[in-house]
Structure 1
Amino acid sequence: MKKLEGKVAVITGGSSGIGLATARRFVEEGAHVVITGRREKELQEAAAAIERNVTTVVGDVSSLEDLDRLYAVVKEKHGHIDVLFANAGAGTIAPLAVATEGHFDQTFDVNVKGMFFTVQKALPLFRDGGSIILNSSVSNVLGLPGFTAYAASKAAVRNFARGWTMELKDRKIRVNAMSPGAIDTPALATTTGLTAEQAEQAVAQFTAQIPMGRRGMPEEIAAAVTFLASDESSYITGVDLAVDGGMAQV
């Protein structure tokens, strides 16, 4: 029996990196997935890579109208949700001295507002006993220069998991956060605002901080998310599962 046989799962930020790896793993485990992202071309490429049991919806989680459209598609196609991986996030680097209002607003619009309403608007479709996984970050407990707005937004995500665990307990919906460390995805080079040289330096710095001596792979995060989505984690709720090679643990 596959771990997610017959389940309906929604994954935000599902066109690349952690989201795409998780969508592929969910389908391998028997789920039907609906993935969303801002760029249609990348979504279509992701769907081609997943090959089966996948629906794509273009949208931005910071737009409530886009979220309504996402869940309208889910309702029409599947009628309910069993698993939600709220994965979409923004992570531009900006030191305190030079950070702009635009940087701050974009970070919190996606990571906090987007996360909040992604979950809120999913609830009418959620089956009792389902699983919600929130993508936080080990930065929620670390002091990382240049990442303070990002880290604060991810600390908010950690607290969402605590509060929503209590709010949804009567429906037996489990809510957990999952906190990756440094993961080998395109995001460091494409979304942080770093030059190629700066990205290489950041990789070297992160690797030096990790007891396992390497960055994680998206598939390793997907395995942890699959565990939290499945009945194998049936007695786990409200936690923050660090998947970081020990980066924030020692």
Structure 2
Amino acid sequence: MAARLEGQTVVLIGGSAGIGLATARRARAEGAEVILTGRDLDRLKRAAADVDAHRTAVFDAGDPQQLTQFFDDLPDPVDHVLVTAGGNYYARLADIDFREARRLVDDHFFLPLHLARAAVGRVRAPGTLLFMGGVGDQHPFLSGVLSAPLTAALPVMVKNLALEIAPLRVNVIAAGFVDTDLSERLLGDQIEARRAELRETLPVRRVVGPEDVADLAVHVMTNTALTGASFTIDGGQRLL
């Protein structure tokens, strides 16, 4: 079977670990050249060596000027961009730190807009801009007053972007819990209990890993009929 991304270039914004790095590996296996970006130089160097990256760039994707400069500096057009950059923030209403709230809005609302504007003319159609979203908007939960509305906003934004910048495609992957190094750091000594709970309760009876998301990302990149769409990958968590 022919490599599905042969001759194409994939940019991973936040590509030094987790879903970004797993997607870089999958894209390389499908014949693509990959460009990795991140904020941590040492981690980026290790990731680049892992996947034999075509190029790397160290910058903060949350800074619109740095993001725009990255695309302006690309020597050649690219074909696909996966964006995993941006953290999260959960707080009850009474405890909200509005500096953190503004950072969250910047990362999950304005960053996609800045990236889409910067990518026009630098990403070849029928390639895709592919954003990472979540499933936290599907069921109300305490401490979700900020993150859940932003999660809900991204698929709506993507639909409108897909119309506005066509024929460039725009899509979003809505992921539930993904067992990454970041998840392990955040949960600490609770990680094994969380894994056991998911294996017991998820309809697929296993934990979703970054490789699962990477497989989906490459599928969206290679199927040129997909645009303006949201693809949920959560092991069936939304059904519970």
Assess same fold via TM > 0.5: yes
Q: CA deviation at 1:53?
A: 3.9
| Residues 200 and 144 of structure 1, relative CA distance in 2, 3 Å threshold | farther
Cα distance per residue 1:130-177 (max 9 Å; x no partner):
2121111112323233233222222222112111111123xx222111
Q: CA deviation at 1:197?
A: 4.0
Cα distance per residue 1:107-141 (max 9 Å; x no partner):
11212222221221111212232212111111232
Map of 1:7 onto structure 2:
8
Asked if structure 1 preserves the Cα contact closer than 8 Å seen for 2:120 and 2:165, the reply is no
Cα distance per residue 1:20-64 (max 9 Å; x no partner):
0001111111111111111111111111111x2431111111101
Map of 1:220 onto structure 2:
212
Q: CA deviation at 1:182?
A: 0.6
Map of 1:240 onto structure 2:
230
Map of 2:131 onto structure 1:
134
Name the stretch that deviates more: 198-207 or 10-19: 198-207
Map of 2:57 onto structure 1:
57
| Residues 201 and 153 of structure 1, relative CA distance in 2, 3 Å threshold | farther
**SS, match of residue 136 in structure 1:** strand
Cα distance per residue 1:213-242 (max 9 Å; x no partner):
332110010000000001xx2222211111
- 2: CA distance between counterparts of 1:27 and 1:67? 24
Q: CA deviation at 1:85?
A: 1.0
Aligned to 1:186, which of 162, 181, 189? 181
Query: Could you tell me the percent identity over the aligned residues?
Result: 28
Asked if structure 2 preserves the Cα contact closer than 8 Å seen for 1:86 and 1:118, the reply is no
Map of 1:25 onto structure 2:
26
Map of 1:165 onto structure 2:
162
For the aligned residue pairs, the C-alpha RMSD in angstroms reads 2.1
**SS, match of residue 142 in structure 2:** coil
Map of 2:143 onto structure 1:
146
Asked if structure 2 preserves the Cα contact closer than 8 Å seen for 1:36 and 1:70, the reply is no
Q: Matched residue pairs, number?
A: 239
The question of 1:119 aligning with 2:111 is answered: no
Asked if structure 2 preserves the Cα contact closer than 8 Å seen for 1:8 and 1:82, the reply is yes
Map of 2:42 onto structure 1:
41
The question of 1:174 aligning with 2:174 is answered: no
**SS, match of residue 158 in structure 1:** helix
- 2: CA distance between counterparts of 1:47 and 1:81? 18
Asked if structure 2 preserves the Cα contact closer than 8 Å seen for 1:37 and 1:58, the reply is yes
Asked if structure 1 preserves the Cα contact closer than 8 Å seen for 2:36 and 2:56, the reply is yes
| Residues 198 and 118 of structure 1, relative CA distance in 2, 3 Å threshold | same
Asked if structure 2 preserves the Cα contact closer than 8 Å seen for 1:5 and 1:29, the reply is yes
Output the TM-score relative to the length of structure 1.
Answer: 0.87
| Residues 66 and 207 of structure 1, relative CA distance in 2, 3 Å threshold | farther
Q: Report the residue type matching 2:174 in the other structure.
A: S
- 2: CA distance between counterparts of 1:92 and 1:199? 19
